[in-house]
Every structure is written in structure tokens, then in C-alpha cells.
């Protein structure tokens, strides 16, 4: 095989390799974005939303005990409910929090700690600021509501990212087909091309 023929074949192979490598790297990046977005939706949004619901449910149980003013029920359930809330708080901290979400969550933790102390004071008859206690309970409900709404908005944002990645994958798939067609034509030209001087010799 003469030098010119070798150059033609090498050029064709390099062209194919370059196109395949470039498209593969682009696809890998888009699939990585899609995978990360899907994982975030489940791990950091759906799971977080479930934790918020569970905390809210336990807080409602505490509020029911307060409403009935049942001391025996309080003594039986207080420690158990507080421990369960602490476990859920730790789980929530393990999710990926946005700046806004982290700020609200820190407020909620402070509120829950105060709520736990005020409960004890309420049933021991040492609670002097009942209005502040009522305001605190309303604040806890508001914080839980805000966190719940954030899960929806952040989940929606991740879905938009996921859809954008899918659109990119579809677009580059079409571009790949066009490039491969063009590459096929170029390779045919490279391989079949014969220099003028060589044609005259034939």
C-alpha cells in the first residue's frame, strides 16, 4: 500500500474516531445530568417531603395532647414523640438543602427545641407565657408548610433540568446521524480520490 493510500485510510479512520469520541462524550455528559436530576428528585425531594409529613404528623399528636390537657397521655408519649422527631430531623439534615431551605430548617429546629421545653413547662404548671406558646406552635406549622412548598418548587426545577437534558440528548442524536452521513460521504471521497497526476499515469 502506497503512502498516499495509507494517508487516505488513516484520515478516514481518524475522522470516524473523532466523531464517535466527541458524540460519546456529549452523550455521557447529558446522561450524567439526567441521572443526577432523577436522583435528586427522589433522594432530596420526595424523601425530604415524606420526612416533613412525618414531622408534621408527630407535631399534630403533640398538639392533640396539649388540647386534651391529658397529663397521663403526655407523660406516656412525650419522650417517644420527641425522640422520633429528633431522628427525622437527623434524616432531613442528610438531604441536599438549598440555601433558603437550610435557613427555614434551622428556624424549625430552634422552634421544635423551644416547643419541647414549653410542653414540659405547660404540664408542670410553670408556663407563664401561653400566648408565646401559641405563637410558637403557629410558627412551627408555618415552617413545615414553607419546607413542604419548597420540595414542590425544587422538584419542579429538577424536572425542568431533566427535560432539558433529554432534549439535548435527542438533539445530539439527530446531529450524530447527520455527522455520520457527512463522515461517510467524506470518507468515500478520501478513499476514492485519486490525484490528477496519478490518473494521467493510468
Q: 41-60 pLDDT, tens per residue?
A: 656 678 888 899 999 999 99
For 67-85, the pLDDT digits (tens) are 888 888 888 888 899 999 9
What CATH number corresponds to the domain at position 21? Answer: 1.20.1330
Query: Within 10 A of 170 (CB to CB), how many other CB atoms are there?
Result: 11
pLDDT at 26 over 60: yes
pLDDT above 90: percentage of residues in the chain: 26
φ/ψ of 65, rounded to 5, equals -65, -40
pLDDT above 70: percentage of residues in the chain: 66
Q: Which of 181, 189, 188, 191 shows the shortest CA–CA distance to 19?
A: 181
B/e letters for 81-104, b = 16+ CB within 10 Å, e = fewer, are bbebbeebbeebeebebeeebeeb
160 or 147: which leads in pLDDT: 147
Which domain range does residue 101 map to? 3-201
Residue 151 CA to residue 47 CA, distance in Å, equals 10
Query: How many folded domains does the chain comprise?
Result: 1
Residue 25 CA to residue 91 CA, distance in Å, equals 36
Query: pLDDT value at position 114?
Result: 93
pLDDT at 199 over 50: no
Q: What average pLDDT is seen over the chain?
A: 79
Q: What is the pTM of this model?
A: 0.64
pLDDT at 106 over 60: yes
Amino acid at each position: 500500500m502506497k503512502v498516499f493510500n495509507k494517508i487516505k485510510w488513516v484520515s478516514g479512520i481518524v475522522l470516524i474516531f473523532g466523531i464517535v469520541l466527541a458524540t460519546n462524550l456529549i452523550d455521557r455528559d447529558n446522561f450524567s445530568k439526567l441521572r443526577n436530576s432523577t436522583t435528586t428528585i427522589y433522594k432530596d425531594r420526595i424523601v425530604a417531603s415524606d420526612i416533613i409529613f412525618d414531622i408534621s404528623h408527630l407535631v399534630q399528636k403533640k398538639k392533640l395532647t396539649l388540647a386534651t390537657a391529658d397529663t397521663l397521655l403526655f407523660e406516656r408519649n412525650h419522650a417517644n414523640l420527641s425522640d422520633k422527631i429528633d431522628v427525622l430531623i437527623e434524616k432531613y439534615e442528610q438531604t441536599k438543602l438549598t440555601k433558603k431551605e437550610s435557613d427555614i430548617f434551622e428556624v424549625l429546629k430552634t422552634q421544635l427545641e423551644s416547643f419541647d421545653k414549653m410542653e414540659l413547662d405547660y404540664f408542670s404548671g410553670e408556663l407563664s407565657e401561653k400566648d408565646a406558646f401559641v405563637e410558637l406552635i403557629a410558627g412551627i406549622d408555618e415552617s413545615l408548610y414553607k419546607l413542604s412548598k419548597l420540595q414542590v418548587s425544587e422538584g419542579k426545577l429538577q424536572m425542568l433540568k431533566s427535560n432539558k437534558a433529554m432534549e439535548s440528548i435527542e438533539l445530539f442524536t439527530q446531529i450524530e446521524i447527520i455527522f455520520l452521513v457527512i463522515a461517510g460521504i467524506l470518507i468515500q471521497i478520501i478513499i476514492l480520490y485519486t490525484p490528477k497526476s496519478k490518473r494521467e499515469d493510468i
